[in-house]
A and B are shown apart, each in its own frame.
Chain A
Amino acid sequence: MPAQQKPDEVTVQGIKEKLDNFADLENRELTAASGTGRLLFIKSITDPQIINRSIIAVFYEMNDPAAFAEYLAHYPGSKAVEDGKQAMDLMLGGYACVEVEGRLIFFDALKAETSGVSETVTESITQGPSDALTENLAVNLNLIRRRYQSAELKMESMLLGNISRTKAAILYDDSRVNHQVLEELRQRLQTLRIDMLQASGELEKYISSDKIRIFPKTIVTERPDRVVFNLAEGKIAILLDTTGFAMILPVIFNDFFVAMDDKIQLPFVGRFLKLLRIMGVAMTLWLPALYVAFTSYNPEIIRVQIALLIAGSRATVPYPSFVEVLLMLIMMEFLTEASLRLPRAIGPTATTVGGLILGQAATAAGLVGNIMIILVSVVAISNFMIPLNMMSFSIRVLKYLFVMAAAAVGLVGVVVCLVGFTMYLCSQRSFGQPYFKMFVLDSLGASDSKKGGGS
């Protein structure tokens, strides 16, 4: 049925065009003996029950399009619209669009999905929203669409994995996304040949082209607000059914140091927190290595008072410093891993026994120096200041590289490692985008992505 009688071009056709590429857009024709109607809604944010009961069922019961139109128009929560923009807002806000008798009526069918949404576990923050993504793709889309009400947010869906047939949704803001990256992603996903796909992190492994990956090139997050925040920055999110995590790409190194409360805090507090995190990374990477360098190779660097303190605390230790450091670091890793697996009720006990008693006893027995214990604690704590787990795990492993370098050539090794580390980061590309550089803002410009190695 043509809709030319509407004065301001709000037509089903127009809406459909705007919502192009919406895989979750539902477009139904209602046909009864007395006439036809058209129903248009976005599946992920509307409630099928409401649509069934209040629209479809009523339409067939009445069997009279004119009366049905009257019925809809007077139903509380239904709206007639003035212009295309409003129509779009309503569509994205969970309204169903019904076209009947040449009239276009918007019917409130928002699905308020609250039941299955639980609190964030791995990325807790002090203030701000605490819902996490769930295992249900539709719920996740609902969580995101509710936060990102824009017609530019496009969604493509596909099935990944020959056996698992995991539903995947690619979300992006059409006006902000870098289309080059999008194209590359599509290509990589299309060429994907796998049987099973169960987690977002797994997907990263498959779509990245590098053999050796030291740093995560995608963010895996459970926070819908982080997804939305990144979508607005022109990034692409991949949601998988059956996992509570979304994957965001392309990312730069800095993205891993943004916690979602930074936006909530006052600007200078946010900056301070970010600085703290970077200091935390520096500490956790360098402290053990510097300890080895200072005690074994270059005691001249620290001032004499401290040198004597370290020498004193190590007086009874029977092995070289890097053995001492490795011993304690590995002990600490055991502790972290163990307390992760333990039931929540026993967790604190493990930390107390491991951290306090073991540390105390080790120094008392003279197996490790006092200063070593302080150092290991600092390293352990500062490691977990990184808001995103993927990065914090990478850093956790990398510090051993620094320790080895320090054990081999002392301070020179630490500096060489630092330069290598930075240069390596700079040589990385996340889907063709520079991973680590100064003044990141202009990195989204096209000129820089011309040349690039890696993924």
Chain B
Amino acid sequence: MPSNKSVSDAPIFQFTNCRILRSHQLQREDLWVREGKILNPEKLFFDEKGSADIQLDCKDSIIAPGFIDVQINGGFGVDFSLAADDVQSGISLVSQKILSHGVTSFCPTLVTSPPSVYHKVLPQISVRNGGPHGAGILGAHLEGPFISKEKKGAHSEHYLSTFESGAFQDLLATYRHLDCVRIVTLAPEMKRSSEVIQELTRRGICVSLGHSVANLSQAEEAVRHGATFITHLFNAMLPFHHRDPGIVGLLTSDQIPARRRVFYGMISDGIHTNPAALRIAHRAHPKGLVLVTDAIAGMGLAPGRHTLGQQVIEVDGLNTYIAGEHSIRSLVTFSPHLGPCVF
């Protein structure tokens, strides 16, 4: 039956035989869309006397908003931390390939690198909307180099840095171009971090705490200065201890501003965190959980060697290690499997 042309000429789509995400539940309901906007079908029926122009049988699929990946270092052979001449084509390739994994927006992430890399790569990154061509680019996530040596994980020790002499000016000298930067991960126990956090926050850049040996007080101080995110909770930070919960304690801290919500990234591949730990974090602070892949260039490709910025990575079966090292601290994600975790 045709839609009511006196209200709008645009066709009405009715997605049937599907489950939609509504009120935090999966409900068996049809989804009605016109010109990219979701319609209230009851209003359409009684007000406009409208009905669907095109019905699409979803064969019992789930219709859900696209995933947003705020920590992804590359994929399909592309390494975002490489000082390439044509960074855009690498980003575009990844943005197009991750669509079929359900990701519709992401933050290309750069691991600890020498300033020359940032100077070359950052000017080439631009924020843009997604579409059929690929996922949207929200801005860069700079993970390092202002992180702790003890918790460097897979990052290159040689290029770690501090901002204790010039605070924000040191950071600016390292990165130079901040226009397209959306998130910066840093270790808050570093000297003068409060000034840096304040200035980044003032510029609208999200400050995330990670790769750090900060105790809970230092982490709370960072949040009071503007930090709002935690980079891959549990990994590359002090473990939860009942007398000093460290950064993990932010999930239930009462020493942070009342209306501020701290979000935390979690790598849910079952290897970086034990599912039981993931559940503890979720139950303690369900509204702060953000799933991330922290995927690397090797995602989507066969086992072998790939780069992760200044490091060389070896993919061996399900696990991935810094080439030559086989310890947990150097584990990096192979490929994202978010579906079973979410649903």
Genuine A/B complex: no
Q: Please report B residues at the A interface, Cβ cutoff 8 Å.
A: none
Q: Please report A residues at the B interface, Cβ cutoff 8 Å.
A: none
